[in-house]
Structure 1
Amino acid sequence: MAQDRVEAVERALSIMEAFDTQHESLSLAELAEATTLYKSTLLRLLGSLERYDYVQRDARGRYRLGATPARLARRHAPSRQLASLVIPVLERLSHDTGETAALLSCEENQMECRLSILPDTDLRHTLRPGYRWQWQAGDPRLALPGGAMTCQHIPGTTYWLSLSGPKGRLPVADARRALQEAATALSRRALQDYPT
């Protein structure tokens, strides 16, 4: 109902919606263009969103999603169940290969990282839940300058597994073998019962 609208809340939500893009961060000007809000209004709203870690501002003054949206999304019951099933598999993948292991989901032409485990090394690909990118049919890999990603579809689901890290560190054949084994194990565990 129109009388139930709270203008400031709707403006803040329009800022959050602007981050539904393939870009990892947005400038103030880009946010102003996406939301049609004045920069002065944006700065006030971004200050509140930043205090609650819905957004974060980097050293260049660009904004990206903070940790709160992903934390709240994980509290949804199917997400907790999905995590309890998949995290041990990702931990094993990351430990055995030394690379970043992730569960991805696809919707139309967008891939999204749902869960990830980072290896205990300084040189790694940092892929976090909630990160999205466009993909071409048949090739869901994220383009990584100086890095590589290998993906494996989990049969009977809309999910993919991935391994990513510095180019040349993990042979592609080894990555494919590890992903195939993990995908087979997960498909046997009725992963299709968990919504994306």
Structure 2
Amino acid sequence: MAQDRVEAVERALTVLEVFDSPRDAFALAELAEATGFYKSTLLRLLGSLARFDYVQRGEDGRWRLGGSPVRLARRHAPSRHLAARVQPWLDRLAAETGETAALLASHAGEAECRLTALPEASLRHDLRPGSRWPVKRDDDPRPLLPGGSMTCVALPTGPGEPPLWLSLSGPAGRLSTDNARRALEAARAALDEAPETEEP
């Protein structure tokens, strides 16, 4: 309802939504074009967001996400316990295959990257935690990747939990689907065998 709206908050959130993009940084003019706000308005909004570390201004004058969105994202799924178990295997997959390794989830026609490990290669799938994309089926979380490919294997989940996958993605043809699947299945098997510990 109208009385529940705070215009300044909605404007600030509109600015943050622009950063839900493959791009890492934006010039003020680019933010103005994306939001439709005057630059003077944007500077006030960005100043407030920067004070709470939701955005940061680099030495090049371009604006990037700050540390607060990542800090808050860590407060919800995946749990710290799951992240502690999965992240080392993502790091290992990325190092051994040279491709982007990720933990994906899907629900209600949308997939989301929960965790990721990026390879050293400059040409890579630059997937980040929090990235989302529409999917036609909840049992296939792969996004459209023009010029690229993604291979996924499902992880076991409990009742009521969203489906989870380990994935490897990168330029098409650099890592074969068979080799990617073998690497992912080996990681899944190792995770299945790893002892469960209580989350603090």
Tell whether 2:117 aligns with 1:113.
Answer: no
Secondary structure in structure 2 of the residue aligned to 1:133 = strand
Residue of structure 1 aligned with 2:186, choices 173, 181, 184: 181
Alpha-carbon offset, residue 27 of structure 1: 4.4
For 1:97, the equivalent position in structure 2 comes to 97
TM-score of the pair, normalised by structure 1 = 0.71
Residues 81-133 of structure 1, C-alpha deviations (whole Å, 9 max, x = no match): 22211111112211221211111111211111111111122222221111111
Residues 32-69 of structure 1, C-alpha deviations (whole Å, 9 max, x = no match): 4xxxxx545344213332455424689xx997744430
Runs of 5+ in structure 2 lacking a partner? 24-29
> Structure 2: which amino acid aligns with 1:110?
E
CA gap of 1:179–1:134, structure 2 versus 1, over 3 A, is same
For 2:27, the equivalent position in structure 1 comes to none
The structure whose residues are more often helix, as a share, is 1
CA gap of 1:66–1:142, structure 2 versus 1, over 3 A, is farther
Residue of structure 2 aligned with 1:31, choices 21, 29, 35: 35
CA distance in structure 2 between the aligned counterparts of 1:77 and 1:147, rounded to whole angstroms: 27
CA gap of 1:63–1:139, structure 2 versus 1, over 3 A, is farther
Alpha-carbon offset, residue 30 of structure 1: 4.1
Conserved 8 A contact 1:24-1:64 = no
Tell whether 2:170 aligns with 1:169.
Answer: no
CA distance in structure 1 between the aligned counterparts of 2:119 and 2:180, rounded to whole angstroms: 14
TM-score of the pair, normalised by structure 2 = 0.70
Runs of 5+ in structure 1 lacking a partner? 33-37
How many residues get paired? 183
For 1:159, the equivalent position in structure 2 comes to 164
CA distance in structure 1 between the aligned counterparts of 2:114 and 2:195, rounded to whole angstroms: 17
